[in-house]
Amino acid sequence: MNLGESIRIALDGLLTNRLRALLTTLGIIIGVGAVIGLVSLGRGVENFIAAEFQGLGSNLLFVFSSAPANGTRTTIQPLSTNEAEDLDNSAVAPSIRQLSQEFVLPAAVVAESVSIQLGVSGVTANWDDVRSWTTDKGAFISTEDIDNVARVAVLGTTVVEAIYGDKTFDPVGRTIRINERVFTVIGVMAEQGGGIGVLGDQNEVIFIPISTAQTRLSRARTRDGGYRVDIFNIQAVSEDRMDQAVREIEAYLDEAHAITFQGEQDYSIISQAELLNSLGSITGVLTVFLSLIAGVSLLVGGIGIMNIMLVSVTERTREIGLRKAVGARGSDILLQFLIESVFLSILGGVLGVALGWFLTWIGGQLVPDLTLSVTGDAVVLATVVSTGIGVFFGLYPASRAAQMRPIDALRFE
């Protein structure tokens, strides 16, 4: 019997039980659709994170206090304004273009009969330039505001919406209370990305002059005579000089903090690239993990195909015996049932790709910040996997059918 005849007989057998064949493929359809949808979502999140960090620039470093790696130091010396001024000097660190300081403190913010709790950031006048943020309304913190220890504030759009009910509202000139002290709103930041929660809500922020945060809202004196700083946001001269900038920062801070041995550092330096790689690794592992969970549906679908094929072999025992009695070989019977199994899997794979495309489209509509698309490799993988399932789980029922003795099959009741 040639291949074409085997295919015709196999399709006739499936068309005889259309509903059963369709129900058999459901496991494959759901599994393939879930895998494609989750892979598309994972890659969309990875691309979103990459785009967010690339918008910051490729030459950004973050320095902050942290516990020593070897645990030998019992105290952590905080970063200070004096250290920031030294590092911002080209004679000390020539690979640094500019440095902005950030001091964060928890605060109760009250305005328009609304009270919210959030971290308020005291920043230097160049913070927006270093971080590549812009104001949408009004102005950002100025050097004059810092020198005068002014009680002025710049709000993020989420804060504006929480207080005034509309993120497009212009609150410039209005007053708010931060930890019982009155501040005048002088600006609103342009809306930032990160609305899907991957990076947190970057618009839930309030900026005030760092001098005001360190003196009026907190007691942040350090033992070197300066004020405590939580984060140094550092812009290197260029991407090529990032490593040199890190070495210059380490050399200065090791001396300033009396660091003698490696592992005693009470500070950490993280580059944007390292942060992006870390987040990319996390999202990559999460995508694989979710895909494996979805892949369980493929396994269940494969078992369903094997079960139905075994039932089909039992129901058609007399047919198998008759065909063998008139000259059909075992390989012909094997090929017929194997084709049925593979066809069910391929049909499930095709419908699963359609389901995956639909789920991806739905995800893009629900989360417009993400750019989701079904990639060619995901479709190829789904097709290969579904075909493999058909072969693997259909081989045993097909071999059982092929090994039947004609006389036993014809006597089967």
pLDDT digits (tens, 9 = 90+) for 228-262: 999 999 999 988 888 899 999 999 999 998 888 88
- When pLDDT is cut at 50, 70 and 90, the band that residue 195 belongs to is very low
Instruction: Dump the DSSP string for 268-288.
Output: EEEEHHHHHHHHHHHHHHHHH
Does an H or E element contain 118, and which? Answer: strand 114-123
Does an H or E element contain 245, and which? Answer: helix 242-256
Burial of 161 (0-12, 13-18, 19+ CB in 10 A): middle
- When pLDDT is cut at 50, 70 and 90, the band that residue 193 belongs to is low
Name beta bridge partners: 106. 119
Return the higher-pLDDT residue of 152 and 375: 152
pLDDT digits (tens, 9 = 90+) for 279-300: 667 777 777 777 677 677 777 7
pLDDT at 14: 67
What tokens appear for 385 in the block?
Answer: 């996997």
Once rounded to an integer, what is the mean pLDDT over residues 134-145?
95
Distances (CA, A) of 7 to 315, 317, 342: 19, 19, 11
Q: Greatest CA separation found in the chain?
A: 104
Burial of 141 (0-12, 13-18, 19+ CB in 10 A): buried
Q: Measured in whole angstroms, how far is the alpha carbon of residue 255 from the centre of its chain?
A: 38
pLDDT at 50: 67
Once rounded to an integer, what is the mean pLDDT over residues 30-44?
79
- When pLDDT is cut at 50, 70 and 90, the band that residue 395 belongs to is confident
Kindly tell me if the per-residue pLDDT of 55 is higher than 60: no
What tokens appear for 320 in the block?
Answer: 């198998």
Kindly tell me if the per-residue pLDDT of 108 is higher than 80: yes
Which of 408, 398, 411 minimizes the C-alpha distance to 13? 398
Once rounded to an integer, what is the mean pLDDT over residues 20-45?
78
Question: Residue 134 is which amino acid?
Answer: T
SS (H, E, C) 301-330: HHHHHHHHHHHHHHHCHHHHHHHHHCCCCH
Kindly tell me if the per-residue pLDDT of 209 is higher than 80: yes
Kindly tell me if the per-residue pLDDT of 371 is higher than 60: yes
